[in-house]
Chain A
């Protein structure tokens, strides 16, 4: 399973103007769904954050949940113009967001595998100081591709 192939250009926004946690979550959700579906996902994501921030540190957050509103794995990426407070585990503000939403039934365990992979890739992004490097969605996808290849070689 290749993460870069799950990303699509129109679901990557590297110029989010939102300054609040709730706004960013909404922006991300509306990249993949609208109306009542989007509102259901949004409300579930807020509850997920109550359970513990998905801000994994070093400026990156991975908001995620299963929701009945999607029928397959959906991913969106956002980067805010200014880092925002997301109650991250290291208390540092966050600017890069990976949203991942999975359907309730997930026979191949794709959701947890993808989630684990994104965590791994995010660690590489922060290690290499790469969060702000890509300037366009295409550059972002190529960067993820590169990191994935590097991780495969390491194994």
Chain B
């Protein structure tokens, strides 16, 4: 069994990786060279292997929320989900190592390190 804190770490890497792939067109416009073949393929492979490392339950949630909102993770700040800007129920505000989703929008919630 993987610890939730490690699963969260993998979800964050997956999230960053997805944003990287999403940004490639903008990068090209600015003038960066993008390797659409070998480079992109290798990132897609890494994505697949990251997904395999994440327990199915969480991987499915991630993919489902990503499909709907593009950004599947949202920060918890001042008691709010910063994905949908709804206030979270008090019992959810105690920072925990468990992986929780916003009861309103379903995004996977994370707290900042500092």
Contacts and interface: CB of A to CB of B under 8 A. Distances in A.
Interface string B11-55: 011011101100110110011111100011011001000000000
Interface residues of B, number: 30
B48 to A, nearest CB: 14
A14 interface: no
B73 interface: yes
A115 B35 contact: no
Contacts of B23: 65-66
A47 B43 contact: yes
Interface stretch (A18-26, A48-56, A136-144): A48-56
9 contacts: A47-B16, A47-B20, A52-B35, A54-B32, A62-B32, A65-B19, A65-B20, A68-B73, A104-B19
B91 interface: no
Contacts of B24: 51
A20 B112 CA distance: 31
A66 B19 contact: yes
B67 interface: no
Interface string A125-147: 00000000000000000000000
Interface of A: 35-37, 40, 43-44, 47-48, 50-54, 56, 62, 65-69, 71, 89, 104-105, 112, 115-116, 119
Contact of A40 (B16, B31, B39, B71): B16
B57 interface: no
